[in-house]
Structures are given as C-alpha cells and as structure tokens.
Structure 1
C-alpha cells in the first residue's frame, strides 16, 4: 500500500467551499465536491479517468454540528475533542465528530463525493413497506425539511420502476440526495449520494406547477447507467447520459399521476410528449456539418466537457437513439437487451460496441449500420414528403426528398420514412415506409379510395423531421383525429405554417378543449402565435382555461406580440387582453402563470 500525506490549500476545481457571509446571514458554511469529468484529482491523488474501478473510503473529522456525507455506508460516527490554535498563541478545546464512510463496491473516481454542511435530513423510504431494505435520505437547507416529501417523495416509486426495467435491484447501500449551495450543475450522480443544485427543493405552494421528477429520475437512473455500468471513455458518455435521459421517459410512461395531474400526464402520451421534446432538441441543434462538427460518440475532443456539450448531444440524441432502437427491435427484444446488458456488464466500464453486441444478440439483427449512422456521424435527416392522388388510376404517389445539407462529407441518410394512412371506413391505420438511401425517393401505392389522412413519423420511428405536404383539410382533421399525440402535435405545427384563415378555428377550438392533451393545446397556442394572431390569443384568454400550462403559453404569446404596431391599433382588443393578464398576475393560483403575467405586463406596457 502507498500512503500519501498532503495539505489541500484552495484547489482550483473539484472541492468547493461556500463560507459564511454577512450577505447570507442564515447560511452556514459548506463544502461539496464535484468530480465530473476529471476534477476529483484536484483534491485527492487518483487516476482521474472513467476506465478504472475501485473501492473508496473517507474518514472525515468536522466541527461538531456539521453533517458529513460520502459514498456508501456510514461505518462509524464518533465524537471527539481536539485542541485548536487560537489567536493568542495558545489552544482551545473544540468539539468535533469523526465520520467514517466506506464504499466497498467498486465505482469510478469521478463519482467520489464529499459534502460537509448543516442540513435537515428526511428519509423518504416507504415506512410501511417491509420489503424495503435501505435508506433514502434527502439533505436540504435547515428549515426546509417539511418540503422534502412534496419534492422527493416519489423516489421509492422511481426505484421500483427502474428495477423492473433493468431487471436489477438497486445496487448500492443507500440512495441519498443532497441539496448544496452554489452547485454548478443541475445534479451529479455520485455513487449512492446524488448532489443537487441549491434551489432543488420546492415549497408546498409552488407544487401546483413545479416538480423535479425529470431531474430526480435522471440522476437516479445513473445509479445503474453511469455508476453500476460506466462509460470506458468520454466519447461513449452517451451510454451514461442517453440512458439516464431516456429512462426518465419510461418513468413518465409507467408512473401513476400525482394528485391534481390529468391522466395524460402518465402513460403512453406522457412518454411520447417527453420523447418528442428530445427529438425537437436534436432537430434544432444537430446539423450534418462534417468535418466541422463530429458525431455523438466521436473521440475527437480537446477537453472532456466537449463530449457533453456537442450539437450531437449525448442527452437528447442519446435518448432519441434509444427510442428509435426500441421501435426497430420491438419492446420484447429491446427490454430483454436492457436486462441482458445490465446483467452482463454490471461492475464494468463499457463502449458503444458492447451495448450494440448485446442488442444484436437479443434481436437477431445486424445493427452495425444503425449505430454507425446515429452515434458516429453528425446530424439528422429532414425529409419533405409530397402526397398526390390519381383518381383515375387509384394510385397514391408519395415523393420524399431529404432537404438537409448534403455533400461528400455529409451524404444522404439511409432511412425508412414511416407513413400512416387512414382509409375511409377503416378502423385501423395502414402503415408503410418510403425507403431512402439518396436525396430523393418515392413510392406508388394502389388503393381503392383516397386516404382521409396521411401522417408521417407518427411514433417517431425515424430520428429526424418529416413534413408531409397535402391538402389542408387532411391536416385540420389530423389535429384532432391523428393516431398519436405526436401526429396531432405535428398537425398543429403544420397549421402554424399556414396563412390566412386556414385552420384558425380548429387551432382555437382545440386550445380551449379540456378533453385534449395539455401538450396539444399549448402547441395550438404556439401555432397562433407563429401566425401572429393576437386577436385569437385574446379570445382564448377571455375563455375559461382550466390548465395553467395553457394560460402560461397564452400570456407568453400575448407578450411576444404586444410590441407590434398592428396589435396596438386595435385599442379595445389590446386593453381587454391587458386586463386579463393583469387579473392573472394578481389572482392566478399558478406561480408560473403569475410570473409570466408580470413579465407580460412589462412587455405590454412598453412602447412599440
């Protein structure tokens, strides 16, 4: 064994001190570590790279009254009295505590954690579940313990969901969540003890429109994907972050709604609502621009942080790749691959090819081209599909064209463009695909009658954007009768690109329809904003809007259009909208709506 004796003095990174300050009179001093990607070596000697697994042990002596947290289990906690030098040249006896933490299951260096501070500690483990075997302590600023159940109370449910998906019981001694001052990220999945940012605790009166289930579930999933199984190098970080991001979608799919939430906040619509947001991020940011940019799993980087912040982002694109892989493999093979991957690769470090190999065995498919296209090269396709019907021949022609940047370094993507057809009188949808391996492709389909609706990428099988150009009446019908939430959102966005009066009534009607999903209703409001229809927004604002999400979107829309001279010329309409926003600012139950209304009033009061 090797023993290193050293003194740590003001490290540049890795270990962060928050001292007491007159500016924050009720904030006790605190220390927290942050090791990702390679900063724990600033406060203890280590091989600071994710390809080395080891056990760790921290023995920390801190002033009495302070709590110390680290990885693993608390072996002992002992009171001590020590002599401390004073300003007079002598020494005073002070009370201390010696905390002994042991992580005797292997993990990697960047996941080592140390937190020292004063906290309220609340255990959210289910008290009446006799099968529950480990603690779920949540550390929050003093005085905030009463808010812990509302924010973190579903942690145990999340663990049960992720145990079911992975086929692996939670692997560590406990699961702690620690809210610390001045944390530089949203959360950090340190083994058995996640660190959270300083305001990651929600007061009871804000629970109507705030929750942290996305962040909490993301960091929790890392205890399997990131901690139990860790990427071998930073170019494969998507195996950590993509899984953590994707599994949050599975939580939304499988959970039961919280009190006051609509049923659609859980189940398949909640899953697709979440995955669609991931797709939107990828489509907006990940452009095919090789060699100027690189793919998600490229080993070209100067600093490890680059791999986390690429346009081909390991969070949203990683999640989207996993969704399309599930679509390709089917649920049975996909989830068997997940369980097999966890079973075979736990306690190891992994690369993309390790995961691919497991998926190929589970599915019987050759997935080499799939992983190469979606993890190694940058960008995603944008496909325009034009539909035309020949009544004499009874033939539907679908012409597809990739419209993203294409050149020698960025060839056309090889994809099957998913198309759904709704035939007159049929209860089910007919599905097909347009195979593409070049810029343009097309198919002709013989049908007895013209389809009532033609929908592209209804379940997000293809990673990319699909726009179908067709008769507007089909799009209006798709807005309410599309086969999936995704297809209905796509219809709202398509109507947002129209002009004149086309689809306006339908957008307004759906926006105030309580039976429609909240996501679709907010998309309809956004479509009206895109078309700059202030009067329509004012009409919606005058209606009774049951969901805070829709009210918030209406306020944002009114504020964004308020500075336009054309809007202000209709003084009666403008003042009526302003009065409604003022009323929401004063009385709305939703904190988000009140905040948006106050900002909106500022925009509406300003001169054009």
Structure 2
C-alpha cells in the first residue's frame, strides 16, 4: 500500500509524481487466473451476421489527388474532372477506386485511353506502368456524402449552400477515391460555383477568379491526409478572419450572423494555443477555417484545416447565458492533431481520434474554467456512457466485429475512451503522459497509427508495462463497479474499508486497480493508495483519530462507478464539508435515493448554497427524484433564490415530477419571462406538461412560436404538450411535424408522437416521415417508435434498418425493433409487474416521508 502525505511541497502534483511512503499491506495475493479468466466481448452490440473486419491491402498507393468540381445548385448535381497520381507496387496492374452511384464518362492514364470497368460501386483502372496519372471525368447526383440546402417553406430567406461530409466512407458518393483512413495523400480542389458564391476546402487558397461564367476557388493541401477528410463547402457566406501565430483563422457563417459569430468562435486562438503548448507540438497547418452550415447532420466534422460545423452552434447573447460552442470548437480543433495529423489506421481504432479529442476538449475546460468544471465534465461523460451501457450494449473500445463503421462512433469511442485516457494520465503522471502524446504525434505525423502503436509510445516514455491496463480497459468490455463499506474501530484507531467489485457478466470479474483514498480528521489529511486485486478486499488504515471525511478517488482519476454503503448522516457530512466536487456529487445522488427529512433538508441547503453550480444542480435533480412535498417546497424556494441559469434549468426539470397549482404557477412564470434563458424556459415548458394539469395547455400554446436559439422554446413546448397528452396536443404535434417548420421543431414534434400509443394518425405520420429527406426527422421517427413499443412500429423500423441512406439510422432502427420485440415477448405480465413496482415505490416514498415528519416532530418536542 502506498500512502501520500499532505506535507508534500506541492500537494497538487499527480499521484505518480508525489513523494510517497511505503506501507506493507496486510496480505495481497494476485492470481493471474483471477485477472484473465476469459475475454469479455460485452453484450448486445454485435448481431449474428457480424464479422471481424481488417484493414484492406492494396497493390498501389495514391500520392496526390487533384479535383476540378463544378457544383450545379439548381440541378443538385456535380461534374468532376479528377486526376490521381498513382504508384503501383507491382509495376502495373489494376487500380481500384471507391465510386458509388456515379456516371463515369471517360477514363485516361497520362492522357491516353485505357481499359477500365465500373460496377456502380467501384471503378477499376488498368495501369500498365508502375507510375501514372489517372484522369477521370464523371458526374454525380449524390444521395449522401454531399448535400444541397436551399430556401424552403420553413426557411424562405435561407442562403443556398452545398457541403460534403466524408466520415466515415461517404466521400465515395461524390468523387472517386480510395475511401479508407489508412490511405494518405496530398490533395487540391478547384471548385466552380455561381458568381458571388464562396467555396472552402482543405489547405491554402492559392488562386481565385472567374472563368466561363463561373467563380472558382483553388485550394491546395500540401500535407498528406486521409480521403475521408477531403471537404468542400460552397454557398453564400460572410467571412471573418484573424491570425494566430502566423496561422490564418477564418470563420465562414451564413448571412446575418456577423453580429454573433464571435460568441461561438472567440476562443479559437486560445484553444489552439493551449493545445500547442500542452502537446508541445504547434498547430500543424498554415490555415484553420471553421464554416457553419445549415442542416449539418452532426455537430461538427474535423476536415483537415477546414472544420464544418452545424449552424445551430451560432447563438446570441441570450443563449450564451447557458449555452456554449466552446466544447464543440475545442473538440474539432483537437482533431487537427488527433485524427488529421495522426489518423487511426482503421475504424476499430477510432478511439485514437475521438477519445483523444474528447479528452483534450475536457482538458481545455480545466484550463479555461478550472478543476471543478473539469471533474464535472468527467462525471457527465460517465453518465453519458452509462446510459448507452445500460440501455443499449457494452463492447470493447477496440473491436473489429461490426457491420457498419459508423456504429463505432458511440459513447464507448468518445466518452468512455476519454475517461480511460484521463485514468492513464493519472497513472503515468501528467509529465510522462504529455511526453507520450508528443512522441506519438512526432512519430506518426502525417501518417496512421493503431492502438498498439499508442501503447508502445506510452510505455517508451514512462518505462511502464501497460499491457494489463490496455487489456482491461481497451480490449475488454464493461467497467469496474465498486461498492465500499466503512467501519471505524475506535479501540484500535483503525478505519476498515471493505471494497467489493459488483460489475456484471459483461465486464471483467476482477479489475486490478490502485485507488486513492482521502481521509480527513480534525488535525490531519492524508491520501492512501489502496490496491484492489480481488473481487472483495478489506483494507485497514491506521489513523490517530476518527476520520471526519473519507473520499474514494477524490479527483475522479479512476474510471468506474462507485457506491458508498453509508447512512444519511455520513452522506450529509460529505455533501456539506468535502472540498471535492466528485465526492459531493456522489453524496447528493445517494441522498436522492435514500430520502427522508434530513436528506431533503441537506439537499435544500446544497441547492441554494453550494459553491459550485454542478453540485447545486445535482441537489435539485435529487430532490425531484424524491417526489415528496418537502422536496417540492425546497425546489420552489430555490427557484426564487438561485440565479444560475444552468441550475435553474434543472430546478424546472425536477419540478416536472410534481403537480399542484403552486408548481404550475411557478413554471408558468418562468416560461413567460423574457429575463430567463431560452433553455430555462424550454425546461419549464416540458415540466409544465408533466404536471398533467389541463390548464397548462393554453399557457404552452401561447409560447409555441417564441423565437429562440435552435427553436429551443418551441421544441420545449412541443415536448410539454406530448407530456400533457390529449387530442388537442396531438393535433399541434402533427402540425409542427410538417415540412414548413424548422428542423429542431419538426424533430421534437415527430419524436413526441411516441407519447401517443394506439393512434392510427400517429402510425400514418411515422410511416410518412420515415421517408422524409431530413436526416434528423428520420432519427426522430426511430425515437418515437422506440418509445411506443407497439407491434405496429416494427415494419417502420425494419424498413429504416434496411433502406435508410445513413448507417447510423439503420443501426438505431434495428436496435429499436429488437427492443420492441423483447418488450412484446415480456407481454402483459411485465406491464403488470412494472405497475405493481411503481405502486410499491410510491407507497414507500409516502411511508418514508411520514416517518421523517414524525421523527422531526418527536425531535422538536424533545
């Protein structure tokens, strides 16, 4: 056992760098059979027909790709003339390009006719020599990978745009290429657009002019990058620019956003500077553009030197109260190092792109806002991963078994991987970890890498064997789940900590962990390192006096779930006295599960008085879960006192668990107030519907068209109407699902149809919108079907699972169909059991409340 004293000269050093004192443990025996009884592939991710996939081999490599592209906005089509410089390793042979659903008009090699064949998916060209330049003339009308956005009924004043989205393998739908991340080459694009339009692509702008009635923009990328990162964005934009350390920073936004664009992008120089210093590797390119486009199907895409972002990230001062673009901007900027400069060799290793970008995004939060905000980001990342883990599946971060590469872009590759990297940072120490990141970037710059490359680099800089770490957290599914009991023995001055690993069968039965334990007494404070080597272990800590506070892993360095077997009083002490956000959050959540008058009072104090907004928000959520009258009063009181908009959002959310006139009036005031942020009002609207009070219908309807960022208030009203239910509410939802409404409102309306089972008009609407051209609307159809759990939706979901243009929707639809089938198999018995459990839970809540009130009365009389 290792003990770390608080008398270190620098108590903020990572555990790996502190001066430590060694104390022999009572008895630690590790059986390798206990560590690795068998491999854990997880559950629910791979369907029966899934197979292992490996990086393809090629007899050739692309050295340079030059594309001339004419964009026909009226016809929503493309004409391309591509020249590809190729080296064939066998001195000649077939060169195969991915090229889906195109019209190939002509193919030449070095200007001469050549043998070629095309099957609608791949173009094969015969190269007679070892090197050559292949010229391809083609046309395309892409159904994915390249999108046209024009004015419509919902947005009549919208400026025309066209944009590509290549990741994972969609660029093949608009230009012939070897569409795999393992291929890296330089590129240039000459983009022809109508006069007055702008065009943005990778690299530097080397020429711009007019020719034959077209404007052209010539961009050249002189560093190798993967094909999926080739990008084209065209349309009518306003450009704003500045410079950072010799790098041109450009911000392209739709007309009308000039007054607010800085709220989204103003921290870009600071972000690039922080990453450059933290990684000890300057931004690797000469330009960085960020372009906001309409109807983007993701939040952002890190195309090399030319990130594309959703227009919904642009926002005004009112939204800026509790909405920020900084995480998105930081995430995509981090990809310029991890993803673009060094790219994962194949999709099973996508965590090398996404986990590292998520981790660096969180590090920027720490740099910009402090340690508490950083730890709370880690907590919320854990929550996001656990939702996917509990509701959908568990898989190893690195897995070759999948059908569609986009399936791997989930919380396992983003949040879980980022949390594991944070744990690795803590284990190696910050200095060694940073050196490892730097060496990784230098060694694989402008190339590709896999998980073993990353592991070996980290071993090289740290001198540690990391095979066990990577086996536990990257190559196996699941995560550690710990339950801890405390016992103080006053006679021997010893604190007993009983650890039990409670993870299920989709995780390793035993994780080998070293966990810091902070113990605070009246006179001292120490951090012990306890070693977990068995499923159940007891550690004995010798102290001079009884501890006041015990906090396991106070800085949340270890990726895990943690449950304390404590009484209410101990949780209250931690909530009110512990200096660490992680410990206070766990205490607030525990009190929300335990309940009782003391818990409510402690949560009330935390809600209005904690120094960090995240803990206050957790206290509000816990009070909502208790659903007692005293909890309701505490929330209403806090709504009058608390000013922080992020906390107010959660207070309004929690009030949705209650009914009664006072609750309705409070939420109605919030919804009607122009002083509140858009997202506080959205939360109030949803909760008003959850009160089930008929009078709120008119209140909600009055605010349905209130202008707000990303239609936040409209979407909140629609969700509130769905919660309220009734014929009138359904009519409104069906109206707002129509195509003359903005996408966020349509998506909210369609998803909310899941609250209306057994309705013919609902099923007809879902069938109709399952073929809607809008990606997010089809996503909403899947969400509604998932909630309905009706046999009628299976056909809709199966159609989407087979025919949707995007594989993410196919996967989501198939998962939803399986969920519906499982629910139907459980049948009526399950429904009755669930209702009985809810009845028992409600009776238990009332009993706890009555006992607590009685105890309080007795105490006051005494």
How far did residue 420 of structure 1 move? 2.0
Is 1:476–1:503's contact at 8 Å kept on the other side of the alignment?
A: yes
Closer, same or farther: CA 200–455 of 1 in aligned 2, 3 Å: same
Alignment of 1:287-366 (within 5 A): 293-309=394-410, 313-366=412-465
Residues 534 and 338 (structure 1 numbering): CA distance in 2 closer, same or farther, change over 3 Å? Answer: farther
Deviation at 1:375, TM superposition (A): 0.5
Matched, 1:31 2:128: no
Q: Which moved more, 1:382-391 or 1:186-195?
A: 382-391
Matches within 5 A, 1:169-180: 169-180=282-293
State whether structure 2 residue 270 is matched by structure 1 residue 113.
Answer: no
SS in structure 1 at match of 2:603: helix
- Conservation of the 8 A alpha-carbon contact between 1:496 and 1:528: yes
| Deviation, structure 1 residue 124 | 4.5
When residues 430 and 198 of structure 1 are mapped into structure 2, their CA distance, relative to the original with a 3 A threshold, is closer
1:498 and 2:594 are equivalent in the alignment: yes
Q: Compute the RMSD of aligned alpha carbons.
A: 2.1
- Counterpart CA distance in 2 for 1:56 and 1:393 is 72
Q: How many equivalent pairs are there?
A: 561
**TM-fit CA distance, 1:601:** 2.6
Match of 1:585 in 2: 671
1:55 and 2:173 matched: no
Alignment of 1:425-464 (within 5 A): 425-426=523-524, 428-433=525-530, 435-464=531-560
Distance of 2:468 and 2:390 partners within structure 1: 19
For residues 526 and 38 of structure 1, do their structure 2 counterparts lie closer, same or farther at Cα, with a shift above 3 Å needed? same
Residues 455 and 468 in structure 1, CA contact (< 8 A), matched pair in contact too: no
Structure 1 position 221, deviation (Å): 0.5
**For 1:322, what is the secondary structure of its paired residue?**
helix
Alpha-carbon separation, structure 1, partners of 2:319 and 2:505: 48
Post-superposition CA distance 1:147-201 (Å, at most 9, x none): 1111111111111111111111111121111111221111000000001113221
2:275 is matched with which residue? Answer: 162
Deviation at 1:506, TM superposition (A): 1.5
User: What TM-score do the two structures reach when normalised by structure 2?
Assistant: 0.63
1:65 Cα deviation after fit: 1.2
* 2:469 is equivalent to residue 469 of structure 1: no
- 2:519 alignment counterpart: 421
What is the deviation of 1:330?
1.2
Q: Counterpart of 1:570?
A: none
Q: Structure 1 118/491 Cα, relative in aligned 2: closer, same or farther at 3 Å?
A: same
Residue 576 in structure 1 maps to residue 674 in structure 2: no
Q: Is 1:15 matched up with 2:146? A: yes
Contact 2:440 2:457 in 1 (8 A): yes
Match of 2:497 among 378, 398, 405: 398
- Tell me the distance in 1 between the aligned counterparts of 2:318 and 2:488: 56
Match of 1:276 among 379, 382, 405: 379
Match of 2:605 among 509, 513, 516: 509
Q: Which of the numbers 518, 521, 536 marks the counterpart of 2:613?
A: 518
Give CA deviations for 1:476-514 in whole Å, capped at 9, x if unaligned. Answer: 11112224111111111121121322322121011111x
Query: What SS does structure 2 have at the residue aligned with 1:142?
Result: coil
1:48 aligns to what SS in structure 2?
coil
1:531 to 622, 626, 645: 626
1:287–1:378 contact (8 Å) kept in structure 2:
no
Deviation at 1:308, TM superposition (A): 1.4
In structure 2, the CA distance between the partners of 1:21 and 1:550, relative to structure 1 (3 Å rule), is closer
TM, length-normalised to structure 1: 0.88
CA distance in structure 2 between the aligned counterparts of 1:458 and 1:192, rounded to whole angstroms: 39
Q: Secondary structure at 1:600's aligned position in 2?
A: helix
Map 1:185-196 to 2 at 5 A. Answer: 185-196=298-309
Q: Secondary structure at the match of 1:47?
A: coil
1:48 and 1:549 map into 2 onto residues whose CA distance is: 43
- In the TM superposition, residue 228 of structure 1 has moved relative to its aligned partner by 0.5
Match of 1:41 among 168, 172, 195: 172
Residues 1:545 and 2:681 are matched in the alignment: no
Question: Residue 251 of structure 1 aligns with which residue?
Answer: 364
Residue from 678, 689, 696 that aligns with 1:602? 689
Equivalent in the alignment of 2:762:
none
Match of 1:76 in 2: 207
Looking at structure 2, the residues matched to 208 and 445 of structure 1 have their Cα atoms a distance apart, in angstroms, of 46
Partner of 2:241: 123
Q: CA deviation at 1:293?
A: 4.9
Instruction: State the alpha-carbon separation in 1 of the partners of residues 563 and 544 from structure 2.
Output: 25
* Residue ranges of structure 1 left out of the alignment (5+ in a row): 83-94, 127-131, 256-265, 563-573
| Partner residue of 2:656 out of 541, 559, 576 | 559
1:554, 1:399 → 2: CA distance? Answer: 36
CA shift at 1:605, angstroms? 5.2
Residue number among 110, 134, 138 corresponding to 2:247 in the alignment: 134
Q: Per residue, is there more helix in 1 or in 2?
A: 2
| SS of equivalent to 2:324 | coil
2:217 pairs with 1:99: yes
Contact 1:59 1:100 in 2 (8 A): yes
